[in-house]
Amino acid sequence: MKEARGKVPKIALIGNPNSGKSTVFNQLTGLRQKTGNFPGVTVEVKEGRLRFPSGAEALLIDLPGTYSLHPTSSDEKIVTTVLTNPKDDFYPDALVYVADVTHLEKHLLLFTQLLDLGLPMLMALNMADTAAEAGIKVNTGKLAERFGVPVVSISGRTGENIQKLLLDLEKLLNGDGHHRRSTSAFYPLREVEKQVADAAQLNVATGSPYHALLLAHHHAWLPFLQKQERETLAAIVQTKDFQSLRVQVDETLDRFDRFTPIVRQTVSQPSVEPTTFTDRIDTILTHRWFGPLIFFGVMLLVFMAIFFGYDITGGWVESGIGVMIDAIGVGLRENWFTDLLTKGVLPGLQGILVFVPQIALLFLLITILEEVGYMARAVFIFDKTMRRFGMNGRSIVALIGGGACAVPAIMGTRTISNWKERLITVMVTPFISCSARIPVYLVLIPVALPHSSWWTKSLVFGGMYFFGLLAALGAAYTFKKLLRTSDPSYLALELPVYRMPHWKNVWLTVWEKVKAFISGAGKIILYISVVLWILGNTGPSGALENAEAQVKATATAEMSQDSLDDLVAAKRLEASFAGMVGKSIEPLIAPLGYDWKIGIALLSSFAAREVFNGTMYTIYSLESVGRVEEEEAANQRPFERYSRLRRQMRDDTFRDGRPVYTLATGISLLVFYALAMQCMSTLAVVRRETGSWKWPLFQFFFMSGLAYLCAWVAFTVLSR
């Protein structure tokens, strides 16, 4: 084995989507795995250590699911790029091809293309347990003989024959296993293909003739080709009048003609296939009318689980870190470092960990639905509708998940293979009103409509969610028209049979997603938290100290310590750099009906929307009152909460005596908070998912600009 010469061999796990490849990967690697991205793109790659019975190890790479080496999505392009570039970091020494034995014929197109590349390969016929239950029998010996590769029947769910797979794979790497010779092609090239392949082999370094043909097919986008190689291949294609798309279609049809008889000779199925359990369930779950209703019911349950789960677990996280902050504050001497630690770093850590329960819950529930087989049906049901807005069926999951929190919802868009559709989903999901907006709505709606009935306020509250959905769909339609991509958009989907989840796979997926959030987005959130603390707790030389001294100089004996501390905090915030920025932007926000106090609140809210309430408590010298009202909020009706803060806001006036908070100002603020990008956690995740700062910055300015424009329109119209 190559490991004996000092190099750990690389094995690529490859197969169609829904072949059970990820379950097999988890069986082979367990916790000895990590998740990252392919260089230069945001397509996910999983790597793990594989241990053979002999004790030797290999690196196992889980390539994205793909249907063909003629790719139509970013995921499929990665597979073609890796397998046609021997210098690629992920280029394998051998392949394990995972195929669903219950639908073997559908999985052989890619398999026969890989045969013609000439790499050592082993076929793993997955879902052997399901095949046995359905009465499907496979002659693996004859299948191996016809294709010239080792064939092992396995079950990724139960672990059946996984050890045999490892033994045969080790033999393959050692050269002891029987595998197809690269000189014997499964698909004989037609005359025009042979001419192009021969010319490509003469002018560009290639392997097999089929490898050369693939370079000719995809020379326009393969990233590893040098400029001269690309130009040479383009000239060959043009000279030979090579019609790539037509040739791909002919090749596909020819391959099916060749492997379909092999399947019929080696796989025996029940003579009369009865209506299966999956078929009976699908008559209801994919029904034209009942299907969408059932899906919204399921998503409502998912949303409620995340929402109420956060209420419980999020409180534990906040309380636990709050206790730690208090303990550290008491244990350390009072200085700037202690203040930074207890009011900047640790609250930033709190802002990271508070999302962990939501992320874990969302991915737990979504992974279970994926494992069961339901999510494929949801994608099928909504695909046509979502395409009208530049997205696809998988986008509906992100949009609904965004009602709880945009962070895990955006992370979940990795299941969308088309770059344009995924990007649009990522860009518009934050428009959906998340749980962080609820405290803001509960303060602003009663301030804007102080004399309205409870039902009117509830109607406005519900309207905010509908408004966010309309904004998301409108923005998606706009992006659909503006964004250009060469990736075709269509639904290639196999509906798997319903089965019980493989729990090991579920827990590993949840663990990977949580770990990725903490290590990726978490660092950015922490950095921004520290920057915001610095802005709110520092100012021009002596400014904060002077503000504090002025408050103490005018304090009366009747003033309580809490009231004095509240007033000091308010004046220090006003004198800080954050306060200065808030005052400096007052001319900019005046057309919206806002004063400098609202300006400071808007600035601090870019850390997280719910910070609005805490900032307003500080500005109005109610910090100690805020702590009490937050504790009491859980036992009060929604629009009765935060009463002291709302009263103080309604009594506030401009310098000329005009009230600050009118109906126009209140609605304007509601519109602004519904549309603006005010969540550094979301921006951090968008940065991680898109691989650059270009898209999160565009998202920030686009959403903030739209929020400003709509808020100005609302204020102008309602002020008349």
What pLDDT is recorded for position 355? 65
Q: Name which residue leads in pLDDT, 541 or 14.
A: 14
544 with 588, same domain: the answer is: yes
Q: Say whether pLDDT at 103 is over 90.
A: no
Quote the pTM value. 0.67
What pLDDT is recorded for position 195? 93
In tens, the pLDDT along 129-164 reads 888 887 889 999 999 999 999 999 998 888 889 999
Confidence of residue 3 (pLDDT cuts 50, 70, 90): very low
What pLDDT is recorded for position 2? 46
532 with 629, same domain: the answer is: yes
711 with 599, same domain: the answer is: yes
Domain-terminating residue out of 238, 268, 298: 268
What average pLDDT does range 275-290 have in this prediction?
A: 79
209 with 129, same domain: the answer is: no
Domain-terminating residue out of 174, 205, 228: 174
Dist. CA 411–CA 402, nearest whole Å: 11
60 with 204, same domain: the answer is: no
What pLDDT is recorded for position 121? 93
**Alpha-carbon torsion angle 341, 346, 349, 353, nearest 10:** 170
Contact 694, 426 (CB under 8 A): no
Q: Which contacts qualify for 692-697: CB closer than 8 Å, 24 or more apart? A: 695/423, 695/426, 695/427
Dist. CA 81–CA 434, nearest whole Å: 39
Whether 408 is covered by a domain: the verdict is no
Whether 247 is covered by a domain: the verdict is yes
164 with 201, same domain: the answer is: no
Range of the domain at 66: 2-174
Whether 510 is covered by a domain: the verdict is no
Contact 19, 126 (CB under 8 A): yes
**DSSP letters spanning 507-556:** HHHHHHHHHHHHHTHHHHHHHHHHHHHHHHH--STTHHHHHHHHHHHH--
570 with 641, same domain: the answer is: yes
What pLDDT is recorded for position 363? 77
101 with 219, same domain: the answer is: no
Structural tokens at position 114: 């890989």
102 with 197, same domain: the answer is: no
Whether 451 is covered by a domain: the verdict is no
Domain-terminating residue out of 112, 139, 174: 174
Whether 156 is covered by a domain: the verdict is yes
- The CATH number of the domain holding residue 33 is 3.40.50.300
Amino acid, res. 2: K
Dist. CA 234–CA 207, nearest whole Å: 19
Structural tokens at position 104: 């073997």
In tens, the pLDDT along 31-85 reads 666 766 655 555 677 888 988 988 889 999 999 888 899 987 777 888 999 999 9
Sequence-distant (6+) residues with CB within 8 A of 712 are 591, 592, 668
Least confident residue range of 20-29, 51-60, 186-195, 500-509: 500-509
Tell me the pLDDT of the chain averaged across its residues: 82
Whether 490 is covered by a domain: the verdict is no
555 with 613, same domain: the answer is: yes
Give which of 371, 426, 406, 395 is closest to 489, Cα–Cα: 395
Of the chain, the percentage scoring pLDDT greater than 90 comes to: 30
Residue 175, burial from CB neighbour count under 10 angstroms (0-12, 13-18, 19+): exposed
Q: Say whether pLDDT at 314 is over 60.
A: no
In tens, the pLDDT along 527-549 reads 766 777 777 777 888 788 887 78
Least confident residue range of 15-19, 339-343, 479-483: 339-343
What pLDDT is recorded for position 697? 94
Residue reference for tokens 């230069």: 40
Dist. CA 242–CA 220, nearest whole Å: 14
Contact 373, 127 (CB under 8 A): no
Whether 412 is covered by a domain: the verdict is no
Least confident residue range of 199-213, 419-433, 518-532: 518-532
What pLDDT is recorded for position 624? 63
In tens, the pLDDT along 486-502 reads 555 555 566 777 778 87
Q: Residue 52: how many CB atoms within 10 A of its CB?
A: 18
CA distances from 408 to 365, 375, 396, 513 (A): 12, 17, 14, 9
Whether 447 is covered by a domain: the verdict is no
Structurally, the chain folds into a number of domains equal to 3
What average pLDDT does range 185-192 have in this prediction?
A: 91
Least confident residue range of 11-20, 56-65, 444-453, 569-578: 569-578
What pLDDT is recorded for position 348? 63
What pLDDT is recorded for position 99? 94
Least confident residue range of 156-170, 262-276, 403-417, 515-529: 515-529
Crossing angle between the packed helical segments 244-266 and 209-217, to the nearest 10 degrees: 140
In tens, the pLDDT along 375-404 reads 778 878 888 888 889 888 878 878 877 876
In tens, the pLDDT along 599-650 reads 888 887 877 776 777 777 777 666 566 566 666 655 666 667 777 778 878 8
196 with 95, same domain: the answer is: no
195 with 56, same domain: the answer is: no
